[in-house]
């Protein structure tokens, strides 16, 4: 595997263990990044570490410090930080199995791929993976990565294991901090029904290829035009009709909503959100349908 692992150690289930490597499952290499340049020379700006009293300092003069109160720090050396070693520094020990639904979505974080590290690890890795698959549960374990111990959620895949970092309780805010001020209200059933029909029209399978970053695409287009020497002007903001009445807004949304699914095409609906009366074509042609029978009797 060409990708450089983020973490290497051992995966352990009770007394069974094997060497594993953890790889990031996502990439940000395709994102548009801008560098800071001098406006006249276009030279790239360098950020020089500076002491507010003595001026620029060399990297070798910089140490790590933790602020215990305003302007007062405890200095900690790299050797002292390295001395703080947990068993999880090099071992991902599976501690518990839980149902996926038991983990609130607020806690799921970055995805990773967990794979056996070397041919000798394949058999033990496969045993743990297949046992996890048979259990149908998510495995929880901890490891030290980027100077932090992180809880990991492991899901067995066809060949490897998909791992997610799980946020700890201190990182996740309580929903009540934001939602507590929302007043309790029950909207009219007719409005909810129309909104449900809009949702039904927009229903479809998840295809990540349909959801590119359009802002980043626009930035790339801008860069190409600038490279050619063209001047770029901002497009006019679209003028939308102001709708004050919520019911009218829902009705207009229902009429304008469209999606890419065959099941949506026959669902002709009126502006009120109800299905338009279907034309009973077969019933109109009923008299003509009796003619063949008359010919047979002749």
Q: CATH classification of 7-27+85-171 is 3.10.20.440, yes or no? A: no
> Residue 2: what pLDDT?
58
Contact 140, 97 (CB under 8 A): yes
Contact 167, 109 (CB under 8 A): yes
Interhelix angle 246-256/189-201, rounded to 10 degrees, is: 20
Q: What does the domain layout of the chain look like in residue ranges?
A: 7-27+85-171, 54-83
Joined together, the tokens standing for residue 250 give 């829902």
Q: Quick check: 298 pLDDT over 70?
A: no
Residue 21 and residue 19: Cα distance in Å, rounded? 7
Q: Where are the beta strands (DSSP E) in the chain?
A: 7-13, 16-24, 50-51, 55-56, 64-69, 72-76, 91-98, 108-116, 138-145, 148-156, 161-166
More confident residue, 98 or 230: 98
CA angle 42, 45, 49 (to 5 degrees): 170
What pLDDT digit, counting tens, does each position of 92-137 carry? 999 999 999 999 999 999 999 999 999 999 999 999 999 999 999 9
> What percentage of the chain reaches a pLDDT higher than 70?
84
Q: Are strands 91-98 and 7-13 parallel, antiparallel or unpaired?
A: parallel
What pLDDT digit, counting tens, does each position of 257-281 carry? 654 444 444 444 433 334 444 444 4
Residue 128 and residue 16: Cα distance in Å, rounded? 8
Confidence category of residue 284, pLDDT binned at 50, 70, 90: very low
What pLDDT digit, counting tens, does each position of 144-183 carry? 888 789 999 999 999 999 999 999 999 999 999 999 999 9
What pLDDT digit, counting tens, does each position of 182-228 carry? 998 899 999 999 999 999 988 989 888 888 878 888 888 888 888 88
Q: Quick check: 9 pLDDT over 90?
A: yes
More confident residue, 231 or 123: 123
What pLDDT digit, counting tens, does each position of 47-72 carry? 899 999 999 999 899 999 999 999 89
Which residues does residue 64 pair with via DSSP β-bridges, in sequence order? Answer: 76
- In the three-class reduction of DSSP (H, G, I as helix; E, B as strand; rest coil), residue 187 is classed as coil
């Amino acid at each position: 595997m060409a990708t450089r692992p983020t973490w290497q150690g051992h995966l352990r289930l009770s007394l069974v263990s094997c060497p594993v490597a953890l790889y990031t499952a996502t990439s940000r290499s395709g994102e548009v990044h801008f560098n800071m340049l001098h406006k006249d020379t276009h030279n790239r700006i360098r950020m020089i570490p500076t002491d507010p009293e003595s001026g620029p300092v060399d990297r070798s003069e910089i140490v790590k410090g933790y602020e215990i109160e305003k302007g007062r720090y405890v200095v900690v050396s790299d050797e002292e930080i390295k001395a703080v070693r947990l068993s999880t520094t090099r071992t991902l020990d599976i501690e518990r199995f839980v149902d996926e639904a038991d983990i609130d979505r607020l806690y799921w974080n970055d995805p990773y791929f967990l794979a056996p590290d070397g041919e000798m690890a394949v058999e033990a890795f496969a045993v743990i993976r297949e046992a996890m698959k048979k259990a149908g549960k998510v495995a929880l374990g901890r490891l030290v990565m980027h100077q932090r111990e992180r809880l990991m959620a492991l899901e067995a895949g066809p060949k490897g294991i998909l791992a997610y970092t799980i946020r700890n309780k201190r990182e996740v805010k309580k929903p009540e901090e934001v939602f507590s001020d929302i007043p309790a209200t029950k909207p009219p059933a007719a409005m909810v029904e129309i909104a449900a029909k809009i949702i039904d029209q927009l229903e479809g399978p998840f295809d990540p290829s349909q959801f590119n970053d359009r802002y980043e695409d626009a930035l790339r287009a801008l860069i190409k035009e600038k490279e050619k020497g063209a001047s770029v002007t901002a497009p006019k903001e679209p003028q939308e009709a102001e709708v004050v009445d919520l019911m009218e807004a829902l009705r207009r949304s229902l009429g304008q909503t469209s999606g890419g699914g065959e099941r949506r095409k026959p669902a002709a609906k009126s502006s009120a959100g109800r299905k338009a009366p279907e034309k009973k074509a077969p019933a109109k042609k009923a008299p003509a349908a009796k003619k063949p029978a008359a010919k047979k009797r002749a």
